[in-house]
Amino acid sequence: MTSNLEAQLLALQQEGEKAIAAADTLERLEELRVSYLGKKGQLGALLRSMGQMSAEERPKIGAIANTVKESLQTSLDQQRAALEAAKIQAQLEAETLDVTMPGIFRPQGRIHPLNGIIDRALDIFVGMGYTVAQGSEMETDYYNFEALNTPPDHPARDMQDTFYLPDGNLLRTHTSSVQIRYMEKEEPPIRVVAPGRVYRRDNVDATHSAVFHQIELLAIDDGLTFTDLKGTIKMFLQAMFGDLPIRFRASYFPFTEPSAEVDLQWNGRWLEVMGCGMVDPNVLKSVGYDPEIYTGFAAGFGVERFAMVLHQIDDIRRLYASDLRFLQQF
């Protein structure tokens, strides 16, 4: 019986190795593994008859069975590796790209000139220690005017023709409202810069728009002076425009005192670029700051004005026309 079982095991090994070598797919290879080495496979079926052998015969047949199993498993592993490599190679050949074929042209995107100015200005102020803050474009009368020392009967309201909404709110005329909301939540010292879209009832022409963008900055601390304001603005304008002459002219804003306009000498002529001033004590009181302890300064400018100067744009309406012939220049 021992010789017969030994012969069957060796025959199974030869048959299995031949079948495995002929397998041409991974699926077929898995079928052969189950057929020969599975729980109900042919090798297991032969070994179940070992229970009828004597104690002296079992070690010999067991050693042969292990050799057959290891041989079949090695053949399976080698064939599987070969089939997987062939599958990958076939996939590579099928997906090979013809690099000589013309590609599909996709025009490169560009940053809009307004976004470019905003990003550039914010980078400068953040580098100076300012925090960026933003707020809603729809505001209440209180935050847009009253908290900024502009009560309902104040003549300064005539300077800012406003879009009022049916519910009593309005479209903000400046981003100063963001500063008021920020001060209500934070304690001094603060350094904040507020970019955003604003609305005024201007007649649209080459230099005016009913919708435009502002960036305003605010600093509140113990002991800030007009000298700090001038130094901050000088550093900012030099970073934006280069080392050009700058002058301050006395002006008026209801929420700053004293107030000034800032001019920049550009191409041989003075150009107004910013408004600024020391924060009025009434504004500090409206947010709960003690004006006997804290002082501050504020400044703001129109992004469109900066874009028109830096890029030599002759008409503000070009910035909103979405004309690719214009935008591709930047």
Q: Mean pLDDT highest for which of 6-20, 160-174, 243-257?
A: 243-257
Task: Please give the residue range of the domain that contains residue 12.
Answer: 2-94
Q: pLDDT tier at 246 (50, 70, 90 boundaries)? A: very high
Q: pLDDT tier at 286 (50, 70, 90 boundaries)? A: very high
- Residue 121 within any structural domain of the chain: yes
- The answer to pTM > 0.85 is no
**Cβ-based burial of 92 (10 A; exposed 0-12, middle 13-18, buried ≥19):** exposed
**Could you tell me if 90 and 207 lie in one domain?**
no
Count the domains in the chain. 2
- Residue 103 within any structural domain of the chain: no
> Distance between CA atoms of 240 and 236, rounded to whole angstroms?
6
Q: What is the DSSP string of 280-300?
A: PHHHHHHTT--TTT-EEEEEE
Predicted confidence (pLDDT) per residue in 126-143, tens digit: 999 999 999 999 999 999
- Residue 105 within any structural domain of the chain: no
**Could you tell me if 49 and 117 lie in one domain?**
no
Give me the residues paired with residue 299 across strands: 217, 276
Question: Looking at residue 24, what is its pLDDT?
Answer: 87
- Residue 100 within any structural domain of the chain: no
Length, in residues, of the chain = 330
Is residue 30 predicted with pLDDT exceeding 60?
Answer: yes
- Residue 223 within any structural domain of the chain: yes
Q: pLDDT tier at 156 (50, 70, 90 boundaries)? A: low
**Could you tell me if 267 and 314 lie in one domain?**
yes
**Could you tell me if 87 and 120 lie in one domain?**
no
Average pLDDT rounded to a whole number, residues 10-22: 84
**Could you tell me if 128 and 86 lie in one domain?**
no
**Could you tell me if 143 and 267 lie in one domain?**
yes
Is residue 2 predicted with pLDDT exceeding 60?
Answer: no
- Residue 104 within any structural domain of the chain: no
Q: Which residues of 28-54 are buried (b: 16+ CB within 10 A; e: fewer)?
A: ebeebbeebbeeebbbeebbeeeeebe
DSSP 320: G
Q: How is the beta sheet containing 295-302 ordered, strand by strand? A: 131-132, 190-199, 211-221, 295-302, 269-279, 256-266, 246-253
**Could you tell me if 218 and 306 lie in one domain?**
yes
Question: Looking at residue 214, what is its pLDDT?
Answer: 97
Question: Looking at residue 3, what is its pLDDT?
Answer: 62
Question: Which CATH number belongs to the domain containing residue 222 in this structure?
Answer: 3.30.930.10
Question: Looking at residue 104, what is its pLDDT?
Answer: 84
